[in-house]
């Protein structure tokens, strides 16, 4: 079945609509499950699934050069799209909360200054890490990439990536404790 999906993706990359319909028929139940599991609401998952297939249509030509199997590539497209939706949802919530904080007379500028300083300390400590390790930490803890995605992206074995992250976090903790 995976070979069939890969062949369909190759044909979708050539903009063959019949291949796209068949790809949708074969893969949409699983990708809908990914979207529903991540987004929790059926209506959000249905909207996300439509957008995921738009991305698949637009990006299928790049699938062949990705070096991934068909299913991992499809799951990654769905997962990243859902993460983007969750971030946008969270940003909207944060903006509302920040607006409430501005109107709150109990808002403490000293606390805001403290947290801004902490952010600068984190940036300074991140600069102490080797560039590839700092990038991996950002991708894992800011962008939400999995160990497998990071290992593939940095072209290192999975256990090496785990070691990079563990050691990087220890180094960051030591730096922040100073």
Flag whether pLDDT at 101 surpasses 60. Answer: no
Task: Specify whether 123 is located in the same domain as 102.
Answer: no
Residue range(s) defining the domain that contains residue 117: 109-178
101 lies in the same domain as 114:
no
User: For the residues of 101-164, what is the DSSP string, one character each?
Assistant: HHH-TT--HHHHHHHHHHHHHHHHHHHHS-HHHHHHHHHHHTS---HHHHHHHHT--HHHHHHH
pLDDT at 140 (0 to 100): 81
Region 46-55 average pLDDT: 94
Counting residues of the chain whose pLDDT is more than 70, the rounded percentage is: 80
**Over 90: is that where the pLDDT of 32 sits?**
yes
Model confidence at 148, pLDDT cuts 50, 70, 90, reads: confident
111 pLDDT more than 70: no
A 10 A CB-CB count for 20 gives 18
Are residues 53 and 131 part of one domain? no
Q: Which of 107, 136, 156 is the last residue of a domain?
A: 107
Query: Which CATH number covers residue 155?
Result: 1.10.10.10
Question: How many residues belong to the chain?
Answer: 178
Same domain, yes or no, for 94 and 127?
A: no
The whole-number pLDDT of residue 92 equals 63
Residue 176 pLDDT > 60? yes
Looking at beta carbons, which pairs linking 161-164 to residues 24 or more positions away fall under 8 Å?
Answer: 161/136, 164/132, 164/133, 164/136
Residue at which a domain ends, from 107, 126, 143: 107
Q: Are residues 54 and 113 in the same domain?
A: no
Let me know whether 122 and 76 are in one domain. Answer: no
Mean pLDDT estimate for the chain: 83
Instruction: Look up the pTM and report it.
Output: 0.51
Q: Looking at residue 63, what is its pLDDT?
A: 79
pLDDT of 106 over the 80 cut: no
Are both 78 and 5 inside the same structural domain? yes
Question: Considering 107, 131, 150, which residue would you say is the last residue of a domain?
Answer: 107
| Same-domain check for residues 1 and 80 | yes
We report the CATH number of the domain holding residue 32 as 1.10.1740.10
- Cα 81 → chain centroid: 8
């Amino acid at each position: 079945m995976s070979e069939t999906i890969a062949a369909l993706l190759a044909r979708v990359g050539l903009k063959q609509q019949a291949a796209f319909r068949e790809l949708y028929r074969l893969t949409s139940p699983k990708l809908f499950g990914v979207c529903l599991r991540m987004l929790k609401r059926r209506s959000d998952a249905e909207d996300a699934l439509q957008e995921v297939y738009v991305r698949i249509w637009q990006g299928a030509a790049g699938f062949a050069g990705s070096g991934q199997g068909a299913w991992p590539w499809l799951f990654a497209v769905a997962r990243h799209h859902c993460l983007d939706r969750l971030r946008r949802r969270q940003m909207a919530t944060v903006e509302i909360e920040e607006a409430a904080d501005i109107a709150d007379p109990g808002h403490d500028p000293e606390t805001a200054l403290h947290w801004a300083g902490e952010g600068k300390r984190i940036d300074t400590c991140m600069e102490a890490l080797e560039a590839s390790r700092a990038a991996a930490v950002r991708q894992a803890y800011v962008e939400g990439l999995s160990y497998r995605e990071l290992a593939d992206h940095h072209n290192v074995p999975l256990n090496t990536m785990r070691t990079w992250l563990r050691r990087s976090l220890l180094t960051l903790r030591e730096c922040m404790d100073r």
